[in-house]
Structure 1
Amino acid sequence: MQHLVSPVGIVRSCFKEKFAIPRQPHLAPAARGVLELLPPFDQGEAVQGLEQVSHVWLLFLFHQALEDKPRLKVRPPRLGGNQSVGVFSTRATHRPNGIGQSVVRLERVEPGRLHLSGIDLLDGTPVLDIKPYVPYADCVNDAHNAMADAAPRLIPVEWQADALPLARQHALRLNEPLVELIEQCLAQDPRPAYQQPEPERRYGARFWDLDVHWHYPEPGRIRVLDVQKAANIA
């Protein structure tokens, strides 16, 4: 039996590409976005009462990772990307129906728009449903997960001398916590765990309308090299 579903909204996110997105929500509290609701849910009636809620569950589609052939096993980043486990034991983006879920902070409610933080969603992500977080039911005190028992170890992030002032200027222009966003995302080391890059290798990702580049001057250290307005954005 097949069921058809339609998005209730689209996320406008600070993350413009998949690389460097946190692998779980809340790992980067400075990551912000807006969920723009689609008709008929863009009316005030659909979100009435939601202002009483601090967090919401989002059910969404991994729209850039949809596949025709289901995977039975995946290689999760948590295990270094070189060990296969069953797809249902992970939160890998390669899902049988492409469905993901995240609990995110609800900063503000407007008719047709939900302002969010702590997100881990790519810009343009279709959202299938929104549900309020219910602390007494959703928080399980004795829960455990031996495969992912703690947040990833953070790596110190330092800045090239001229990169930090530029980031602060862009933060004022965007009215967003850009420096914190960059540091929170890069500290989790977005590169594949099996890579051991040479110091001269540059990595890059796009946050808002900016291209951010960094490198690993030595193992266990990250240095932001530059923050520049993306060339193809007006």
Structure 2
Amino acid sequence: MEIEPIAHFKSPLTSKFGIPRQSGIVSGLRGQIVFEPRFRNAEALRGMEGFDYLWLIWGFSCNVDAAKHPTVRPPRLGGNEHMGVFATRSSFRPNNLGLSSVTVIHIDYNSADGPVIHVGGADLMDGTPIYDIKPYVEFTDSHPNVRSGFADEVGWQSLSVCLSESIVNEFTPDERNTLKQILSQDPRPHYHRDSRRIYGMPFAGRDIKFTVENGTVKAFI
């Protein structure tokens, strides 16, 4: 079977660095689903306004090397333990396919590229190909009080975030809040713990730099 993108994702995050490790953990992160010309048909979205969430099936387009080994090292475990690739949500998979749940903010039927779906909480990079969209249905897709493997055993420690005056002056309040949510999730590679190291990531058209020391991110431009 051959599959082709039905849409591509627009995001303020234009590189893999800084992308949330899971959908939904940075709820303020906004993005748009822009359909390919042959799929820009409002009839294909009829009824979508009745759903709060969508499932996106998409591709890890920047992973040039698919998983070639049966195990991976999840960041949540510090990168020190191996788990089976199919027991993780690692981005390095045999077929490079991702699955994310996103919030529907609104649908713009009047856009020049319309219809465009505006969503929140996505963990997709700018330009990511989307292969399918399905509605999220609570009575079948939500399973409360279930086991979640090693994710239950190892909590993720969020970081405090301090933004420089230049960031405060140049970004809108919504952009600042989103940036703080992203940085609080510690986007560094799991094996980097050097407080003197300066990291960089693009966000909303600007290059953000930051350091991490004693549980605090200091971000500047």
Q: Do they superpose with TM above 0.5?
A: yes
DSSP 3-state at the match of 1:19? coil
Shift of 1:76: 1.3
Cα distance between partner residues in 2 of 1:118 and 1:166:
23
Q: Does 57-66 or 105-114 show the bigger shift? A: 105-114
Which amino acid in the other structure matches residue 210 of structure 1?
Answer: R
Deviations for 1:149-183, whole angstroms, at most 9, x for unmatched residues? 2762211101234432233xxx28xxxx2101110
Shift of 1:119: 0.9
Structure 1 residues 7 and 18, CA gap change in structure 2 (3 angstroms): same
Structure 1 residues 146 and 96, CA gap change in structure 2 (3 angstroms): same
Pairs aligned (count): 215
Deviations for 1:169-226, whole angstroms, at most 9, x for unmatched residues? xx28xxxx21011100000111123322133x2111111211111112x321111122
Cα distance between partner residues in 2 of 1:114 and 1:36:
7
Match of 1:148 among 151, 154, 162: 151
Equivalent pair of 2:67/2:93 in contact (CA under 8 Å) = no
Which runs of 4 or more aligned residues in structure 1 lie more than 4 Å from their structure 2 counterparts after TM superposition? Answer: none
Which amino acid in the other structure matches residue 85 of structure 1?
Answer: M
1:65 aligns with 2:68: no
Which amino acid in the other structure matches residue 5 of structure 1?
Answer: I
Shift of 1:146: 2.5
Determine the structure 1 residue equivalent to 2:216: 221
Gaps of 5+ in 2: 110-114
Deviations for 1:130-149, whole angstroms, at most 9, x for unmatched residues? 00000111000132113112
Cα distance between partner residues in 1 of 2:140 and 2:206:
40
Q: Any residues of structure 2 matched to 1:170-181 within 5 Å, and which?
A: 171=172, 177-181=174-178
- TM-score, with length taken from structure 1: 0.86
Cα distance between partner residues in 1 of 2:33 and 2:73:
30
DSSP 3-state at the match of 2:58? strand
DSSP 3-state at the match of 1:40? helix
* Percentage of identical aligned residues: 33
CA RMSD of aligned residues (A): 1.7
Equivalent pair of 1:5/1:128 in contact (CA under 8 Å) = yes
DSSP 3-state at the match of 1:65? coil
Match of 2:162 among 128, 148, 158: 158
Determine the structure 2 residue equivalent to 1:118: 121
Which amino acid in the other structure matches residue 198 of structure 1?
Answer: S
DSSP 3-state at the match of 2:177? helix
Cα distance between partner residues in 2 of 1:41 and 1:159:
41
1:98 aligns with 2:96: yes
Cα distance between partner residues in 1 of 2:35 and 2:178:
25
Determine the structure 2 residue equivalent to 1:231: none
Shift of 1:13: 1.1
Deviations for 1:67-116, whole angstroms, at most 9, x for unmatched residues? 36633111111111222211001000011111000000011113431111
Match of 1:207 among 179, 190, 203: 203
1:134 aligns with 2:132: no
